[in-house]
Amino acid sequence: MMNEIQKSLLKEVAALDALPTGAYNIRSDGSGIARNTTANIDIITKQDKQGIDIIIRPGTKNESVHIPVIISQSGIEELVYNDFFIGEDCDVTIIAGCGIHCAGKDDSKHDGIHSFYVGKNSKVRYVEKHYGEGEGRGKRLMNPTTIIELEENAVMKLETSQIGGIDDTLRITKAVLKENAGIIIHDKILTAGTQHANAEIHVEMNGDGSNCDIISRGVAKESSYQEVTIKIDGNAACSGHAECDSIIMDNGVILAVPQLKATNVEASLIHEAAIGKIAGEQLLKLMTMGLTEKEAEELIIKGFLQ
């Protein structure tokens, strides 16, 4: 049975009001509390370290896996390894995410390393949301690492976000693509107060016909700090695009670092970056419709981070 804090966190990071259909593994306060497997998706507890193996049979389509993590107590620190083995010709959705509620004086921390091995011709949608809350003096710390290997013609779409409340984070995403593989990454970060967020995205395109599209959006409010580094390596006849758009407010700081490297004359790589404040005309237009300045700002931010 989950308490109200656990239920609220689960809804925030995984949009769950009850146990989902399909395969799932729910982890709370350092241990697993619920699991279900299907005929096509198996979940196995690792024996040598904290974490699970998720094994998806070849040809699995229109199925989902939920693997949310929630921490509802202060003072919990964990490092979890989750490995995904996705067979050929699959089409699946994976919902992850972590929520931390810290009400005490001790820090709470979750570090997760997710490794994906995606077979030929497979399609994967991966959704990962991070969220923190609580009035305690302890910090809410989160360091997710995502490692991806895409075989020929495999496609993966990542929808990752840090929607608020995390005091310090290092977010690392690394992907290696073979022939005609593709990856789409949409990453969103919202920071406030004195929060610090560092995001590193690195894609290596090693096969002809491989491609990537990376969109990073961030909003830094008050005295928070964000640093976003996007690296694209084109080592074949490939195409890569990265876009980094950020809104800076109050005394916030944002550092955007683009790095493009081509080792093949047929590689085509593009990077776009922009940092700026909320446009005055946007605020004015919304305020003439009856919104306060703060309400108008929040509406603009919400739309920007959609």
Residue spans per domain, the chain = 4-279
Closest CA to 151 of 110, 195, 183, 197: 183
Instruction: Tell me what pLDDT residue 234 has.
Output: 98
Segment 192-196 mean pLDDT: 96
Q: What DSSP designation does 73 have?
A: S
3-state secondary structure of 283: helix
Segment 15-29 mean pLDDT: 92
pTM above the 0.75 mark? yes
Instruction: Tell me what pLDDT residue 176 has.
Output: 98
> pLDDT by residue (tens digit) across 135-172?
889 999 999 999 999 999 999 999 999 988 999 999 99
Instruction: Tell me what pLDDT residue 164 has.
Output: 86
Q: How many residues does the chain have?
A: 306
Tell me what the pLDDT averaged over the chain comes to: 95
Look at residue 1 and tell me whether its pLDDT is greater than 80.
no
Q: What is the percent of the chain with per-residue pLDDT over 70, rounded to a whole number?
A: 100
Max CA distance (Å), the chain: 61
> pLDDT by residue (tens digit) across 269-302?
999 999 999 988 888 888 898 899 889 988 999 8
